[in-house]
Structure 1
């Protein structure tokens, strides 16, 4: 790795432009948005989601935890929080910095195991040594460590600001604004049927362990909160439609750049896809209109009826019309079978499932 000269490092981004927080319901195109934003000449972003700003209560001590069991149940963020807490209590600054760097430069799925085994790459260890040489390290908690690492990596890449992508960022906006009062937030939202198709077909453990109803509940929460945040913070919270971004990328990216007060960079149109659950897209550049149409041929009539009935209010507010057919004698029995299978998967009675659906709609 190329060595760097001494550079100014400061907390809370005072030597950098205000950070950008990318967010949205899972499988709504947050990764695509991140790669697009990171292609801008002035913006640095991390490899994957950091999940650093989530609300985690009652974090147990490491000695009282079965971390392998948490990882087997795809509770990666909770496992990571336990490790952060352990390093904070022990005032183990080196381990805390390495833990933060690991999640920035790897993925949340593999980071806890890397930390537990201390299987840090040479790149991470070299960055730690560079930080010790060129920065005044005054780390109190994971937020200090994050800000130090984010600022350092951004300046090292000769960028002017950084962007963090996590689905949970929108749910923790108040906490983030206490740390970064001038931060900008960009939420990407998507047709719930497209989200549902991508979510239920994704091979990643977290998505496989989430029920179809859980997927729709998450979409509804994000849709409802996104509307409120845009009203509450009109100068700091921006919403972009997934389908519009794919179909008219230049226009939508111009609007995004105006919002974050950056000049439009044509490189944003030629981002490269990697680590996609749809492997046919890995390695490809730019936007692909086919991404908006997967669900149209892939969802069953029962799935369409299920999704449309629950999401109707927020879906129509976002400009997504009904597509599911009316329930008839021809399709009611497949629908009953689908809901029965869903009851078994969720492990609830039919009445309990109907109550959950009713609550979700409300």
Structure 2
């Protein structure tokens, strides 16, 4: 299979400017959290889906809404609840008595950006309604396939604290999210800025569209043409194999996870003005790309070992190539 031509300098310059424009726009809704916003925009530019997991009141929904609003296209919000049905997400075939035919009524998943709020509150059956569309960009209902708009992105939020009435996302679903990140509480100065702006009831509402769907697709095309050297690809392969053999890991990095890692690193490099990936790019995005893809065993919790500890061990065990390689 032929590789796309290397991105030109002017394309990378446009990508970097557009990337920063979106970051600045979305950052208005999330004060003091530029890195988190950068990761979210990187996910958008790489063609992936984003999972936001954090305690209540940190701005998960605001970030998701602001990112959706920054794209001039359609966006829908679905509040996931225990009684939500798969057809409430994907749509259903409804009988039209006048025409005496079944007509497909599209669900909220038919949008450019879909916010799945508190996704872990829905039943596993409803959660699985997103599996096909997140992987293939289409929905199959009653044997008929319906394509969703392009570009398409799912931004899901979940609360790790409240476990009553929630259903943990299965590994197959987690693996379909390109990145998982947390926002965290703002620092003292950012908190004061937020408190001083209480007149603005909803900062996400102030975010306007700064990019359209065609530009998102162009960003993804430019990102795909960023170069990744063979030594870096070999490093990722070694990292995945080591993750599968780790003493505390029951489920290591999958091939889908490695592909996502490469796509994300390309978008991250382009966002920083380069048409090639450097080792630091892989380090910068390691945690959001890897943390939700590795399942630890019971002994890990007993020993006080976390996924972040395992990621540090893996990077210590597998040497990164030098920038000149």
TM-score by length of 2: 0.28
Per residue, is there more strand in 1 or in 2?
2
Q: Which has the larger radius of gyration?
A: 1
TM-score by length of 1: 0.26
Per residue, is there more helix in 1 or in 2?
1
